[in-house]
């Protein structure tokens, strides 16, 4: 029964930005379930190294290369190369993302634009690149990595909250567009995890504690606590789930 629900053998999963942090963790989890794995980041060496590590550890075929999620032509080239090596993409995890923390009145337009481009336009470009093939084959999973900050506000995060909130509604719209073709589209909404993106918070004991104290479970998330949620949404276990947003935030947004 567990094999039928959660096995990804024979599937190809593309996780954007799986060179570190939550992306690398999710890539490892999907590889452990048997999927072939592809990733892109802006750094060629990091993408190649992460994929070599995963193929060595889990014995699955992998492909890593440089491709910026904001470039439609780079992403088209990446998808072509990944498909040639691993077969068509069955599962897309739109994970690549960035954050700049400043109040609106201090935020340069360039920083606003960059966050929107990577966090919101990137997932649009990547999903557009693989949805036609998924629909043709009548099976597919698109999982957008939003955030608890896609559902609530937080000061000093104008483009981050706007981009992640946009992803929540992109999830629902795309889910409606492709439901009749056997493809599901869902979002994961993590709370605070200790990754490079949160270095400024992790390095500041006052900020770290301010976050910790707001989490009902009383602690930041451990990286492997994303595994159950991503495996559920990527696998046959979630076959009747689409357009949903799964919170993994220790209860922060329940308040
Ligand atoms: N950590 C958290 O607490 C948390 C909470 C909620 C949501 N999230 C979301 O989870 C996702 C992963 O976060 P993380 O904390 O694991 O971040 P991270 O450690 O900073 O990793 C981000 C990844 O995205 C890649 N990337 C960034 N810009 C890119 C671009 N334009 N094109 C391609 N790849 C790009 C990075 O590689 P390069 O820099 O080499 O390109 C890196 O591989 C993000 O979407 C984030 O918003 C994180």
Expressed in angstroms and rounded, the spacing between residue 120 Cα and the centre of ligand 1 is 12
Ligand 1 binding residues, C-beta < 6 A: 16-17, 19-23, 40-43, 46, 68-70, 95-98, 118, 145, 147, 190, 192-193, 195-198
**Hey, what are 90's tokens?**
């069955």
**pLDDT tens by residue, 123-150:** 999 999 999 999 999 999 999 999 999 9
Expressed in angstroms and rounded, the spacing between residue 98 Cα and the centre of ligand 1 is 6
Structural domains of the chain ordered from first start: 2-250 (3.40.50.720)
Q: What is the pLDDT, as a whole number, of residue 1?
A: 83
CA dihedral (150, 153, 154, 157) positive or negative: positive
- Phi and psi (nearest 5°) for 57? -80, -40
Tell me the mean pLDDT in the region 182-190.
98
CA gap 150, 162 in Å, rounded:
7
Return the percentage of the chain with pLDDT > 90, whole number: 98
pLDDT band at 20 (very low <50, low <70, confident <90, very high): very high
Q: Which residues are catalytic?
A: 160
Q: Is residue 222 over pLDDT 90?
A: yes
Atom of ligand 1 nearest to the CA of 99: 47
**pLDDT tens by residue, 82-134:** 999 999 999 999 999 999 999 999 999 999 999 999 999 999 999 999 999 99
Q: What is the pLDDT, as a whole number, of residue 3?
A: 87
Q: Quick one: which of 242, 239, 205, 235 has its CA closest to 220?
A: 205
CA gap 199, 121 in Å, rounded:
25
Q: Ligand 1 pocket check: which of 19, 20, 21 to mutate, most ligand atoms within 8 Å of Cβ?
A: 21
Burial class (CB in 10 A: 0-12, 13-18, 19+), 202: middle
Q: What is the pLDDT, as a whole number, of residue 2?
A: 83
Tell me the mean pLDDT in the region 2-29.
97
Q: Ligand 1 pocket check: which of 23, 40, 122 to mutate, most ligand atoms within 8 Å of Cβ?
A: 23
**pLDDT tens by residue, 158-181:** 999 999 999 999 999 999 999 999
Extract the runs of DSSP E, i.e. beta strands, from 49-90: 62-66
**Hey, what are 19's tokens?**
């060179």
Expressed in angstroms and rounded, the spacing between residue 178 Cα and the centre of ligand 1 is 26
Q: What is the pLDDT, as a whole number, of residue 124?
A: 99
Q: What is the pLDDT, as a whole number, of residue 157?
A: 97
Expressed in angstroms and rounded, the spacing between residue 1 Cα and the centre of ligand 1 is 34
pTM of the model: 0.98
Q: Quick one: which of 81, 75, 89, 84 has its CA closest to 12?
A: 89
Burial class (CB in 10 A: 0-12, 13-18, 19+), 77: middle
**Hey, what are 23's tokens?**
């992306």
Largest CA distance in the chain: 54
């Amino acid at each position: 029964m567990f094999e039928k629900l959660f096995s990804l053998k024979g599937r190809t999963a593309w996780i954007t930005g799986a060179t570190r942090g939550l992306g690398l963790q999710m890539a490892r989890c999907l590889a452990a379930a048997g999927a072939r794995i592809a990733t892109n980041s802006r750094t060629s060496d990091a993408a190649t190294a992460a994929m070599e590590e995963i193929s060595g550890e889990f014995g699955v075929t992998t492909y890593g290369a440089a491709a910026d999620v904001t470039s439609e032509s780079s992403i088209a080239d990446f998808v072509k190369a990944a498909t040639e090596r691993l077969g068509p993409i069955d599962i897309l995890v739109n994970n690549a993302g960035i954050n700049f923390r400043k109040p609106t009145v201090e935020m340069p337009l360039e920083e606003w634009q960059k966050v929107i481009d990577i966090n919101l336009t990137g997932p649009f470009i990547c999903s557009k690149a693989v949805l036609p093939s998924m629909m043709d084959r009548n099976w597919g999973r698109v999982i957008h990595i939003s955030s608890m900050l896609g559902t609530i506000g937080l000061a000093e995060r104008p483009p981050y909250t706007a981009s992640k909130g946009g992803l929540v509604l992109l999830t629902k719209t795309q889910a409606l567009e492709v439901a009749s073709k056997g493809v599901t589209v869902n979002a994961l909404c993590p709370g605070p995890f200790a990754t490079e993106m949160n270095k400024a918070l992790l390095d500041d004991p006052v900020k770290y504690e301010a976050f910790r104290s707001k989490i009902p479970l009383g602690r930041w998330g451990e990286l492997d606590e994303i595994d159950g949620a991503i495996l559920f949404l990527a696998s046959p276990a979630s076959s009747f789930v689409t357009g949903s947003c799964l919170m993994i935030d220790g209860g922060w947004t329940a308040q």
